[in-house]
Structure 1
Amino acid sequence: MEDFELLRRKKRRRKAKLKLFARFGFDVDNCSYPSRLIESTWGEDYDIALYGRLGIYCHNFQKGTNFKFVRWEKYDVISTADVHFYVTLDARDPASDSVFSFQTLLCEDSSSNFPVRWNTLACRIKCDDAVDERWDDKAVDDFYKDAMPKWLSDEELASDNKKYYVVQELELQENDWLHLFTEIAFYSKTNNELTAPPPLEIEKVVVVTTEDTEEGHEKLKAQNAIFYVNYKYNGEYTKWARDHKAVIRKTMDGKPGHMYLEVVTAE
């Protein structure tokens, strides 16, 4: 009876803690299980920087801003069925050259079949508002819910040039988030060994989306899309010095700060 009561109390405390994190997770200083607060002067952890940069991309995409990542300041980790990272970082607005505090909540649900399954649930200028952690799966088109697609063949690409859009060289330069997506894809296949952004060169990107667009380049602005990326690594590690392929799927459920990014390699 005593063991049952103790277990019930633990469950109660855990439930209360999860509610607390849903509201104040970015600033809860609690080093006991299941969370841990990490603070850094310079923000060296490369994976945390990727989480923060992805959050800034989501905000820029949804709000039309052009914020830039500076460094991450601190993060908190809470482990439930998935792993939630509450990241506080410094961002810069080039329009005013101001630096401010920015928050990203990222849920990681990766596996051997899905090296990257990253779900942003909050991407915002720092505030104390509660986070809406409920992903609305019904709002996402069924086209994006199946297993990750196989690599796009040359025959498929040639069969329907309206369905597929090949990103132009100038667009690769103008849309730096394509390099972020590619960087995340490469990071996933290196068993998280990277400690800094690698020298990658994108050779080709093809975009597929079910959303109606008048011009092919407008597919880059689709909320839901699949990207087929050819790229190569130009760094010093010879074991990675070859051509690489990745299939990247981005979906949104229409809620502010919500985005799902899935990546599989295609070699």
Structure 2
Amino acid sequence: MDDDDYIKERMEFWTRFGESDGFDVEHLIDIKPSGCLFYSRKFEDNDDYPTKIALYARFGIHRYNMIQGTNLQLSCIEKYTGRPSTVCYGYYITLVAKDPAAGGSLITFQTQVVDEGFDIMKLTCSIARPKYGPPRDNSDGPLDDCYQVRLPDEWPSENAFNDKKRYYVMKKSDLRKHDWVRLYMELAFFKANTKLKNPNLSNLVIMKVAVETEENVKPPNERLKARNAVFYIRYRYYPNKGRAPKSNNGHKPPRDRVAIVKRTMDKNTGYFTLEFDGRFSKTLL
């Protein structure tokens, strides 16, 4: 096969892959040309999901809830496809979501999450939909100007959070109602601690959250719904929570950490992005 035929074969294959937006493509694994990298995995009822896939599944549901005003929750994950490239990694996840507003009815759901970056990391969700809902809107508009707002490179002073015109400090009732804040914290912690094997995210406890946005909304707690916002999350990591230490010398004390997460919802493309500096998640206060 000459180079032209090889390129054509690869292009035709990726066209077939894209016809279903990357979902339900297991049948293509046996016919993929060399150099076309992707893999798929199905889950059984008793499988433990990889932490990353579970987080990304929740991220996709969160994007749908933000746009639709719903409160879908993750019930289980059926399968996912991973597609690596030189600059990013795409995940195509099929899951089952539960709708509490409809008596707990179950919905088969699809979401795509693209993971890119190193110290400055970015997660982008461009697909989040019921599997049997309307097809994806592939129209591409110009990037929203909210992308011009940069990710902060430092943690504000404690006095800065007293500026009520700039920041809204979340109340405990806010944290209970908007559980996606915990998702942001878990994503930031997970991405900054990739060397931890099977991290127990239940060992993380939120201590304080402040939100900053340039969108002028009232009352102040409505800033939590802003398309473009920065979340300052202070949390505590309990390394030994849920297990007895082997010895006093082996007991690790709780650690306070911080995460800065920028959220962007592009009104032109519908892309939902979280951006964070992984180095902040290791900062001990």
TM-score, reference length from structure 2: 0.82
State the Cα distance separating 1:23 from its structure 2 match.
2.9
CA distance in 2: counterparts of 1:228 and 1:48, whole angstroms: 24
Whose RCO is larger (CA < 8 A, sep 6+)? 1
1:234 aligned onto 2:238: yes
Q: Greater shift after overlay, 250-259 or 203-212? A: 250-259
- Structure 2 distance, partners of 1:21, 1:129, is 19
Superposed CA offset, 1:196-244 (max 9, x none): 5332211111101111202110100101100000000134276683001
Aligned position for 2:69: 64
1:261 aligns with 2:274: yes
% of aligned pairs identical?
Answer: 29
Cα separation, 1, equivalents of 2:275 and 2:95: 23
Q: Work out the CA distance in 2 between the residues paired with 1:187 and 1:133.
A: 31
Q: Does the 8 Å contact 1:23/1:128 carry over to 2? A: no
How big is the shift at 1:54? 0.3
Count of paired positions? 259
Alignment CA distance shift 1:263-1:142 (3 Å): closer
CA distance 1:243–1:78, change in 2 (3 Å): same
8 Å contact kept, 2:147–2:264: no
> What is the distance in 2 between the residues matched to 1:136 and 1:142?
14
Q: Is the 8 A contact 1:43 1:71 kept in 2?
A: no
Q: State the partner residue of 1:110.
A: 117
Residue 100 of structure 1, CA deviation: 1.9
The answer to whether the Cα contact below 8 Å between 2:113 and 2:123 also exists between their aligned partners in 1 is: yes
C-alpha contact (below 8 Å) 1:137/1:253 kept by paired residues: no
Assess, with a 3 A threshold, how the Cα gap between structure 1 residues 10 and 53 changes in structure 2: closer, same or farther: same
CA distance in 1, matches of 2:136, 2:123: 17
TM-score (norm 1): 0.87
Q: Which moved more, 1:176-185 or 1:42-51?
A: 42-51
Gaps of 5+ in 1: none
Over 3 Å counting, the alpha-carbon distance change for 1:48 and 1:257 in structure 2 is: farther
Counterpart in the other structure of 1:166: 169
Identify the residue that residue 265 of structure 2 maps to in structure 1: 252
* Superposition pairs of residues 153-232 of structure 1, within 5 angstroms: 153-158=157-162, 160-191=163-194, 193=196, 194-232=198-236
CA contact (8 A) 1:230 1:246 kept: yes
Stretch moving more, 257-266 or 214-223: 257-266
RMSD of the TM alignment (CA)?
2.4
Rounded to whole Å, the distance in 2 between the matches of 1:219 and 1:206 is 10
Q: Which of the pair has more CA radius of gyration?
A: 2
